[in-house]
Amino acid sequence: MTMKTRPVTILCLIAAIAVSVLLAGCAAGDGDATGGTHKAIIPLDKTPPASETATAKNEVRIEIQDFVFKPAEITIPPGTKVTWINKDEAPHTATSVDKKFNSGGLDTDDEFSFVFNDKGEYPYFCALHPHMKATITVK
Protein backbone atom coordinates (compact mmCIF):
# COMPACT_ATOMS: atom_id res chain seq x y z
CA MET A 1 0.00 0.00 0.00
CA THR A 2 2.74 2.42 0.88
CA MET A 3 4.50 1.85 -2.45
CA LYS A 4 1.38 2.89 -4.43
CA THR A 5 0.51 6.10 -2.55
CA ARG A 6 3.97 7.75 -2.77
CA PRO A 7 4.10 8.46 -6.55
CA VAL A 8 0.62 10.03 -6.39
CA THR A 9 1.66 12.38 -3.58
CA ILE A 10 4.77 13.51 -5.51
CA LEU A 11 2.72 14.18 -8.66
CA CYS A 12 0.29 16.29 -6.65
CA LEU A 13 3.15 18.32 -5.20
CA ILE A 14 4.72 18.92 -8.64
CA ALA A 15 1.37 20.02 -10.04
CA ALA A 16 0.78 22.39 -7.12
CA ILE A 17 4.26 23.95 -7.50
CA ALA A 18 3.81 24.36 -11.25
CA VAL A 19 0.49 26.18 -10.81
CA SER A 20 1.82 28.50 -8.12
CA VAL A 21 4.90 29.41 -10.22
CA LEU A 22 2.70 30.23 -13.22
CA LEU A 23 0.39 32.44 -11.12
CA ALA A 24 3.30 34.24 -9.45
CA GLY A 25 4.95 34.83 -12.82
CA CYS A 26 1.85 36.44 -14.31
CA ALA A 27 1.26 38.70 -11.32
CA ALA A 28 4.86 39.96 -11.28
CA GLY A 29 4.77 40.68 -15.02
CA ASP A 30 1.65 42.88 -14.74
CA GLY A 31 3.14 44.85 -11.85
CA ASP A 32 6.33 45.69 -13.77
CA ALA A 33 4.45 46.82 -16.88
CA THR A 34 2.25 49.42 -15.11
CA GLY A 35 5.09 50.66 -12.89
CA GLY A 36 7.31 51.27 -15.93
CA THR A 37 4.81 53.47 -17.80
CA HIS A 38 4.12 55.67 -14.74
CA LYS A 39 7.82 56.42 -14.23
CA ALA A 40 8.31 57.42 -17.89
CA ILE A 41 5.64 60.19 -17.72
CA ILE A 42 6.94 62.14 -14.68
CA PRO A 43 10.17 63.71 -16.12
CA LEU A 44 8.30 65.16 -19.14
CA ASP A 45 6.08 67.30 -16.87
CA LYS A 46 9.06 68.90 -15.09
CA THR A 47 11.04 70.27 -18.09
CA PRO A 48 9.13 73.47 -19.21
CA PRO A 49 9.45 75.64 -16.03
CA ALA A 50 13.25 75.15 -15.81
CA SER A 51 13.87 76.42 -19.37
CA GLU A 52 11.71 79.57 -18.83
CA THR A 53 13.72 80.85 -15.87
CA ALA A 54 17.06 79.99 -17.51
CA THR A 55 16.50 82.46 -20.41
CA ALA A 56 16.47 85.67 -18.27
CA LYS A 57 19.79 87.57 -18.50
CA ASN A 58 18.83 90.99 -17.07
CA GLU A 59 16.02 92.12 -14.84
CA VAL A 60 14.06 95.40 -14.85
CA ARG A 61 11.41 96.50 -12.35
CA ILE A 62 8.42 98.71 -13.18
CA GLU A 63 6.46 100.19 -10.29
CA ILE A 64 2.78 100.93 -10.64
CA GLN A 65 2.17 104.03 -8.52
CA ASP A 66 -0.45 106.80 -8.56
CA PHE A 67 -2.13 105.09 -11.54
CA VAL A 68 1.05 105.36 -13.62
CA PHE A 69 3.56 102.76 -14.84
CA LYS A 70 7.02 103.98 -13.75
CA PRO A 71 8.87 104.15 -16.06
CA ALA A 72 6.19 104.15 -18.75
CA GLU A 73 8.65 103.87 -21.65
CA ILE A 74 11.65 101.55 -21.42
CA THR A 75 14.02 99.96 -23.92
CA ILE A 76 15.62 96.64 -23.01
CA PRO A 77 17.80 94.01 -24.72
CA PRO A 78 16.30 90.61 -25.66
CA GLY A 79 16.21 88.14 -22.78
CA THR A 80 15.33 90.76 -20.16
CA LYS A 81 12.93 89.81 -17.40
CA VAL A 82 10.50 92.61 -16.55
CA THR A 83 8.79 92.58 -13.15
CA TRP A 84 5.82 94.84 -12.39
CA ILE A 85 4.99 95.59 -8.78
CA ASN A 86 1.80 97.34 -7.69
CA LYS A 87 2.51 100.13 -5.17
CA ASP A 88 -1.06 101.50 -5.19
CA GLU A 89 -3.94 100.68 -2.88
CA ALA A 90 -6.07 100.05 -5.97
CA PRO A 91 -5.62 96.85 -8.01
CA HIS A 92 -3.98 97.09 -11.45
CA THR A 93 -2.95 94.84 -14.33
CA ALA A 94 -0.15 94.88 -16.91
CA THR A 95 -2.00 93.68 -20.01
CA SER A 96 -0.38 93.46 -23.46
CA VAL A 97 -2.31 95.15 -26.29
CA ASP A 98 -1.22 92.25 -28.56
CA LYS A 99 -2.10 89.62 -25.93
CA LYS A 100 1.60 88.68 -25.45
CA PHE A 101 1.32 88.82 -21.66
CA ASN A 102 -1.28 89.53 -18.98
CA SER A 103 -0.61 89.86 -15.28
CA GLY A 104 -4.22 89.49 -14.19
CA GLY A 105 -5.29 91.54 -11.17
CA LEU A 106 -2.39 92.70 -8.98
CA ASP A 107 -3.23 93.75 -5.43
CA THR A 108 -0.96 96.01 -3.34
CA ASP A 109 2.67 94.73 -3.44
CA ASP A 110 1.77 91.90 -5.83
CA GLU A 111 4.33 91.21 -8.58
CA PHE A 112 4.19 89.85 -12.12
CA SER A 113 7.18 88.92 -14.31
CA PHE A 114 7.59 88.31 -18.04
CA VAL A 115 10.75 87.53 -20.04
CA PHE A 116 11.01 89.43 -23.38
CA ASN A 117 13.04 87.23 -25.74
CA ASP A 118 11.89 88.69 -29.11
CA LYS A 119 12.67 92.16 -30.48
CA GLY A 120 9.73 94.50 -31.03
CA GLU A 121 7.36 97.02 -29.47
CA TYR A 122 5.13 95.81 -26.66
CA PRO A 123 2.43 98.37 -25.80
CA TYR A 124 0.40 97.49 -22.73
CA PHE A 125 -2.21 99.00 -20.42
CA CYS A 126 -4.14 98.41 -17.22
CA ALA A 127 -7.31 96.47 -17.95
CA LEU A 128 -9.00 98.04 -14.91
CA HIS A 129 -8.00 101.63 -15.85
CA PRO A 130 -7.52 101.64 -19.66
CA HIS A 131 -6.13 105.20 -19.62
CA MET A 132 -2.97 103.78 -17.96
CA LYS A 133 -0.73 103.07 -20.96
CA ALA A 134 2.96 102.22 -21.37
CA THR A 135 5.35 100.59 -23.84
CA ILE A 136 8.30 98.22 -23.64
CA THR A 137 10.71 98.27 -26.58
CA VAL A 138 13.00 95.26 -27.06
CA LYS A 139 16.03 95.82 -29.36
By CB under 5 A, the residues from 47 to 106 that bind Cu ion are 92
- Asked if 133 interacts with Cu ion (CB under 5 A), we say no
Quote the least distance from Cβ 128 to Cu ion, whole Å.
4
Neighbours of 64 (CB within 10 A): 27
- Asked if 129 interacts with Cu ion (CB under 5 A), we say yes
Residues with Cβ within 8 Å of 71's Cβ and at least 6 positions away in sequence, in order, are 62, 134
CA distances from 117 to 56, 57, 60, 111, 139 (A): 8, 10, 14, 20, 10
Quote the least distance from Cβ 114 to Cu ion, whole Å.
17
- Rounded CA separation 139/136 (Å): 10
- Asked if 115 interacts with Cu ion (CB under 5 A), we say no
- Asked if 126 interacts with Cu ion (CB under 5 A), we say yes
Quote the least distance from Cβ 92 to Cu ion, whole Å.
3
- Asked if 127 interacts with Cu ion (CB under 5 A), we say no
Chain residues binding Cu ion by CB under 5 A are 92, 126, 128-129
